[in-house]
Amino acid sequence: ETGVTQTPRHLVMGMTNKKSLKCEQHLGHNAMYWYKQSAKKPLELMFVYNFKEQTENNSVPSRFSPECPNSSHLFLHLHTLQPEDSALYLCASSQELGQGADTGELFFGEGSRLTVL
Amino acid sequence: AQSVTQPDIHITVSEGASLELRCNYSYGATPYLFWYVQSPGQGLQLLLKYFSGDTLVQGIKGFEAEFKRSQSSFNLRKPSVHWSDAAEYFCAVGGRGSYIPTFGRGTSLIVHP
**Mean of the pLDDT values across residues A80-104?**
85
Pair type for strands A112-116 and A10-13: parallel
> Which among A4, A100, A111 has the least Cβ separation from residue B42?
A111
Which residues, in sequence order, are CB contacts of B11 under 8 Å at separation 6+?
B19, B21, B107, B108, B109, B110
Q: d(Cα A20, Cα A93) in Å, to the nearest integer?
A: 18
Q: What is the 3-state secondary structure (H, E, C) of B43-82?
A: CEEEEEEECCCCCEEECHHHCEEEEEHHHCEEEEEECCCC
Q: Looking at the predicted structure, is the pLDDT value of residue B96 above 70?
A: no
Helix (H, G, I), strand (E, B) or coil at B23: coil
Q: What is the pLDDT of residue B51?
A: 87
**Mean of the pLDDT values across residues A50-66?**
92
| Domain covering B3-112, topology | Immunoglobulin-like (2.60.40)
Degrees, nearest 5: CA angle B74-B77-B80: 175
Looking at per-residue pLDDT, the higher value among A100 and B40 belongs to: B40
Report how far apart, in Å, the C-alpha atoms of B65 and of each of A20, B48, B59, B91, B105 are.
Answer: 38, 8, 8, 11, 18
Could you state, in order of their start, the residue ranges of all structural domains in chain B?
Answer: 3-112
Given an 8 Å threshold on Cβ–Cβ distance, is A56 in contact with B100? yes
> Which among B36, B41, B100 has the least Cβ separation from residue A48?
B100
Given an 8 Å threshold on Cβ–Cβ distance, is B41 in contact with A43? no
**Mean of the pLDDT values across residues A55-69?**
94
Nearest to A63 by CA among A7, A24, A19: A19
**Mean of the pLDDT values across residues A98-104?**
65
Given an 8 Å threshold on Cβ–Cβ distance, is A104 in contact with B94? yes
Q: What is the pLDDT of residue A56?
A: 87
Q: What is the pLDDT of residue B27?
A: 85
**Per this entry, what is the length of chain B?**
113
Q: What is the pLDDT of residue A28?
A: 93
Q: Looking at the predicted structure, is the pLDDT value of residue A4 above 80?
A: yes
Q: Looking at the predicted structure, is the pLDDT value of residue A105 above 90?
A: no
Out of A70-84, B50-64, B84-98, which region has the weakest mean confidence (pLDDT)? B84-98
Q: Which residues of B17-42 are buried (b: 16+ CB within 10 A; e: fewer)?
A: eebebbbbbebeeebbbbbbbbeeeb
pLDDT tens-place string over residues B2-45? 889 999 999 999 999 999 999 999 987 788 899 999 998 889 99
Counting residues of chain A whose pLDDT is more than 90, the rounded percentage is 77
Report how far apart, in Å, the C-alpha atoms of A84 and of each of A29, A62, B112 are.
Answer: 32, 15, 33
Given an 8 Å threshold on Cβ–Cβ distance, is A100 in contact with B97? yes
Read off the DSSP letter of residue B97. B
Q: What are phi and psi of A31, to 5 degrees?
A: -115, 135
